[in-house]
Structure formats: C-alpha cells, structure tokens
C-alpha cells in the first residue's frame, strides 16, 4: 500500500478547517472562510500563502492568463476552498490542473458549503 503524501501536514490543515466549520457553520461566502482559515493557520503555526498566483505555460510561452490558488500550505499543498453543496468533478479537475501547472503533488478541496465539512485529497 503506498504511503500517504504529506499525511501529518494534511491532518493539521483539515483539523484547522474542521475548527473553522465548527465555529462558523455553512452559508458564508468563500472569503469569510479564507479569512478565518488565515487566523486558524497562524494560530496553529501552519505555514501558508494566501491567493498565490501561478503562471501557465504553453509550448514554452507564458500565457497572459494565470490561476490563483486559494492557499499554498507548507510550500507543498494546494488548498482550494469551496462553498458548494458537494465536491463535484469540476472542483477536482480544477485542482488537478492547478497541480499540473504548479508542479506540486497534493491538493485538498475543502467544501464549507454543506452542513458537515467535506474534503477530498487530489494527488497528481
């Protein structure tokens, strides 16, 4: 059985997300959860960058459009914050594209939009 990528780091990130969801519940805009996560990550000493931009290259040419990851944690994990009713295929595909472009291997889609927090690990 393969080893889980960034197991301890993922556990801490998801724990912080559960704490935010426990206090705020569901129903807010994404920005509210991102603001709360910033505070929670800082409180837990989880290193992060919020809204980091990544360029996209096509045939060795940098395109004018880029993507912005909601968070990069531990310089290794893309965190995508959502507020839908469930984690659907478009969110997974988006995160896979982000991983491919960034060169990172692990993304976590976190959904604050449901009564219970949902998350899904995405490995590239």
CA torsion, ordered 17, 26, 115, 49, to nearest 10 deg: -20
Res 35: pLDDT: 98
pTM above 0.75, yes or no: yes
Set out the domains of the chain in order of their start, with CATH numbers: 7-123 (3.40.1350)
pLDDT along the chain (124 residues), means of 10: 88 98 96 98 98 92 93 98 93 94 96 96 95
Q: Cα dist. 80→59, 60, 62 in Å? A: 27, 27, 23
Report pLDDT for 1.
67
16 contacts 44 by C-beta, under 8 angstroms: yes
pLDDT of residue 32: 98
């Amino acid at each position: 059985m393969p080893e889980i990528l960034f197991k301890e780091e993922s556990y801490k990130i998801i724990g912080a997300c559960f704490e935010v969801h426990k206090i705020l519940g569901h129903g807010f805009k994404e920005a509210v959860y991102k603001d709360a996560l910033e505070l929670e990550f800082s409180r837990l000493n989880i290193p992060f960058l919020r809204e980091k931009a990544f360029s996209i290259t096509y045939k060795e040419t940098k395109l004018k459009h880029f993507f912005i990851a909601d968070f990069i944690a531990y310089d290794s994990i893309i965190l995508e914050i959502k507020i839908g009713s469930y984690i659907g295929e478009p969110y997974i595909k988006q995160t896979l594209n982000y991983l491919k472009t960034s060169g990172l291997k692990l993304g976590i889609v976190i959904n604050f939009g449901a009564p219970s927090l949902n998350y899904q690990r995405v490995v590239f």
